């Protein structure tokens, strides 16, 4: 009897400690989740904080006098001469007029307030409208990228070091008179890469990604679905089938960079395909995403109940007819969901594309599958490696564009699953 009470007593006395341990264990779990979520939040706020300014551009409004003498033109009516004329001088003169405090010695400093490409913009405008010659017009130009970051990050010392104190004062003056303004950065979405951050955009990379994804989708989806059908429905249980299955599972876990080595050695060296083109990128990403698509397609086929198959067989359908007419349509939503997730993975992939040369500096927006191109994640990589702060904010902005694409793909997959997938 005493034994019994002492045991109960023992348990009771230990309870407090045990409950404390219980609470502590639960707290560990909460802390772990908090760490993971904090990392997620930090990542997003960091990217958005660094990159939202990438969606803004700084323009400078000038009253430009297209004076033939200033442009070293003997004959302002000769288009050939106009093409070769000096367009920097009228721009610098216009900046000088806007800033009365500037002197003749400040030419260089003034020139560095406007974008180096502004002169070619002026030239194109004048070639299109020859009647402007000799007149004075109010025009807007992109500001120099140093001015751009200075205006957008007012007060942050790291962003003003490239401008002299005098230049900073000028920019502040122009800003106060609303001659220097920031607005939505349409250049970012309508141009390819550039050495000048103010002129650099993601359009080339987006088109490159799109072309690469088209190849990947066109190849990976049918091949993946066909392979899944074979393995689920037709494959005899033997050594060969087992070997294929083990292969697929292992390929799913092979580091992506290895696929880059494969692409370099087989597609480029052996088959002599060109470097840096979307076709080779698409082929490499196809091989990389195939295992994912096969695995998810098999799961989708497995989830079709046997009763459907038996009913079809019962009315005399051949095995192939059962699969193509009944199993495949029912499994298709699941297959699509898995494929979209696989495609999202491929869209974010960088490493293998570096090896097949899609890392080149390409200004033109690619027009075909065999044009040299780069893709969004590689563009992020290229800009992130630049020492210029203006490129860093564009890298962040490009990341946001990339994440927007990925999220809409995932949202589409979730929507498809909710909408089309049937539970049996």
Partner 1 sequence: MQPLNLLLLTMLLAAVAYVLGSARSRTLAMPLGGVRHLKSLPGYYGVRAAIWCGVPALVILGLWAAFEGKMIQSIVVGTLPDTMIPDTAGEASLLMSKIGNVANGSLPPGFVEEPVAKAAELLQVLQVQSKIYMTGLVLAVALLAGFVGWVRIRPLLNAREQVEAILRWFFFACAGVAVLTTVGIVFSVVFETIRFFEQVPFFEFFFGTSWSPQLALRTDQVGSEGAFGMIPLFTGTLLISFIAMLIAAPVGLLSAIYLSEYANKRVRSTVKPLLEMLAGIPTVVYGFFAALTVAPFISDLASAIGVEASSQSALAAGLVMGIMIIPFVSSLSDDVINAVPQTLRDGSLALGATQSETMKKVIFPAALPGIMGGLLLAVSRAIGETMIVVMAAGLAANLTANPLETVTTVTVQIVTLLVGDQEFDSAKTLAAFALGAMLFISTLLLNVIALKIVRKYREQYD
Interacting residues with partner 1 between 19 and 78 (CB under 8 A): 19, 21-22, 24-26, 28-33, 35-37, 39-40, 43, 46-47, 50
Min dist CB 116 to partner 1, Å, is 26
Q: Which helix (H) or strand (E) holds 350?
A: none
By CB under 8 A, tell whether 133 contacts partner 1.
Answer: no
Can residue 223 be called a binding residue for partner 1 (CB under 8 A)? yes
Which residues have C-beta within 8 Å of that of residue 375, sequence separation ≥ 6?
205, 208, 209, 212, 281, 347, 353, 358
Shortest reach from residue 193's CB to partner 1, in Å: 16
Number of residues located near partner 1, criterion CB under 8 A:
87
Under the criterion CB under 8 A, does residue 130 sit at the interface with partner 1? no
Annotate 360-396 with DSSP letters as a single string: S---SPP-STTS----HHHHHHHHHT-S-HHHHHHHH
Residue numbers 80-109 binding partner 1 by CB under 8 A: none
Radius of gyration in angstroms for the set of CA atoms belonging to the chain, rounded to a whole number: 31
CA angle 73, 78, 79 (to 5 degrees): 100
Question: Which is closer to partner 1, CB of 73 or CB of 248?
Answer: 248
The answer to whether residue 317 forms part of the interface with partner 1 (CB under 8 A) is no
Is 300 an interacting residue with respect to partner 1 (CB under 8 A)?
A: no
Residues forming a β-bridge with 137: 64
Subset of residues 372 to 391 that bind partner 1, contact rule: CB under 8 A? 377-378, 380-381, 384-385
Smallest CA-to-CA distance from 233 within 291, 316, 292, 313 is with 313
410 touches partner 1 by CB under 8 A: yes
CB of 216 to partner 1, least distance (A): 14
* Residues 145-174, interacting with partner 1 (CB under 8 A): none
Applying CB under 8 A, which of residues 79, 222, 305, 329 lies at the interface with partner 1? 222
Quick one: which H or E segment has residue 58? Answer: strand 56-65
**Minimum CB distance to partner 1 smaller for 133 or for 251:** 251
Cα separation, 288 vs 270, whole angstroms: 19
Query: Mind giving me the DSSP string for 192-240?
Result: ---SSGGG--SHHHHHHHHHHHHHHHHHHHHHHHHHHHIIIII--SSHH
Q: Does 141 bind partner 1 (CB under 8 A)?
A: no
State which H helix or E strand residue 72 sits in. none
Interaction between residue 244 and partner 1 (CB under 8 A): yes
Q: Which of residues 322-351 bind partner 1 (CB under 8 A)?
A: 344, 347-351
Tokens of 9: 């007593």
Q: How far is the CB of 395 from partner 1 (least distance, A)?
A: 6
Q: How far is the CB of 212 from partner 1 (least distance, A)?
A: 14
Q: Which of 331, 342, 337 is nearest to 217 (CA)?
A: 342
| 210 near partner 1 (CB under 8 A) | no
Shortest spacing between CB 318 and partner 1, in angstroms: 6
Tokens of 297: 């397609």
Q: Please state the closest distance from residue 217 (CB atom) to partner 1, in A.
A: 15
Give one word for 72, left, alpha or beta, with left for phi > 0 and alpha for psi -120 to 50.
left
Among 403, 412, 417, 421, binds partner 1 (CB under 8 A): 403
CB of 128 to partner 1, least distance (A): 29
355 binds partner 1 (CB under 8 A): yes
CA dihedral over 127, 132, 134, 137, signed as positive or negative:
negative
**Interface stretch with partner 1, choices 134-142, 173-181, 208-216, 289-297 (CB under 8 A):** 289-297
If one asks whether residue 214 binds partner 1 (CB under 8 A), the answer comes out as no
Provide the β-strand partners of residue 136: 65
Q: Which two tokens stand for residue 328?
A: 């495949």
Quick one: which of 127, 311, 320, 404 contacts partner 1 (CB under 8 A)?
320
For residues 167 and 102, give the distance between their C-alpha atoms in angstroms, rounded to a whole number: 10
Choose which of 78, 247, 361, 418 interacts with partner 1 (CB under 8 A). Answer: 247
């Amino acid at each position: 009897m005493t034994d019994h009470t002492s045991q109960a007593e023992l348990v009771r006395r230990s309870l407090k400690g045990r409950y404390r341990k219980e609470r502590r264990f639960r707290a560990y779990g909460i802390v772990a989740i908090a760490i993971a979520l904090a990392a997620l939040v930090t990542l997003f706020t960091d990217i958005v904080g660094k990159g939202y300014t990438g969606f803004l551009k700084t323009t400078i409004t000038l009253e430009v006098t297209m004076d033939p003498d200033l442009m070293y033109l003997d004959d302002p009516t000769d288009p050939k001469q106009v093409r070769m004329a000096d367009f920097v001088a009228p721009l610098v003169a216009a900046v000088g007029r806007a800033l009365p405090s500037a002197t003749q010695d400040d030419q260089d400093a003034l020139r560095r307030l406007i974008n180096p490409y502004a002169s070619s913009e002026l030239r194109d405008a004048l070639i299109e409208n020859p009647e402007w010659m000799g007149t004075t017009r109010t025009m807007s130009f992109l500001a120099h990228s140093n001015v751009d970051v200075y205006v957008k990050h007012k007060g942050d010392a790291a962003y003003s070091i490239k401008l002299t104190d005098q230049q900073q004062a000028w920019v502040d003056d122009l800003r106060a008179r609303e001659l220097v303004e920031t607005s939505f950065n349409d250049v970012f979405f309508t141009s390819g890469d550039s050495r000048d951050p103010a002129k650099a955009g993601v359009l080339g990379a987006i088109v490159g990604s799109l072309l690469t994804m088209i190849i990947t989708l066109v190849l990976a989806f049918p091949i993946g679905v066909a392979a899944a059908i074979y393995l689920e429905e037709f494959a005899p249980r033997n050594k060969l089938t087992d070997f294929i299955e083990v292969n697929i599972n292992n390929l799913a876990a092979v580091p992506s960079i290895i696929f880059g080595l494969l692409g370099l050695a087989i597609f480029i060296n052996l088959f002599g395909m060109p470097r840096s083109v979307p076709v080779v990128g698409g082929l490499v990403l196809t091989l990389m995403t195939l295992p994912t698509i096969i695995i998810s397609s098999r799961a989708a086929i497995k989830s079709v109940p046997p009763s459907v198959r038996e009913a079809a067989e019962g009315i005399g359908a051949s095995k192939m007819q059962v699969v193509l007419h009944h199993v495949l349509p029912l499994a298709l939503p699941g297959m699509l969901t898995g494929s979209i997730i696989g495609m999202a993975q491929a869209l974010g992939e960088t490493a293998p594309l570096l090896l097949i040369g899609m890392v080149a500096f390409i200004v033109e927006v690619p027009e075909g599958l065999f044009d040299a191109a780069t893709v969004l994640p590689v563009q992020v990589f290229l800009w992130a490696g630049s020492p210029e702060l203006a490129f860093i904010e564009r890298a962040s902005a490009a990341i946001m564009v990339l994440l927007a694409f990925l999220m809409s793909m995932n949202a589409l997959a979730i929507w498809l699953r909710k909408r089309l997938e049937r539970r049996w």
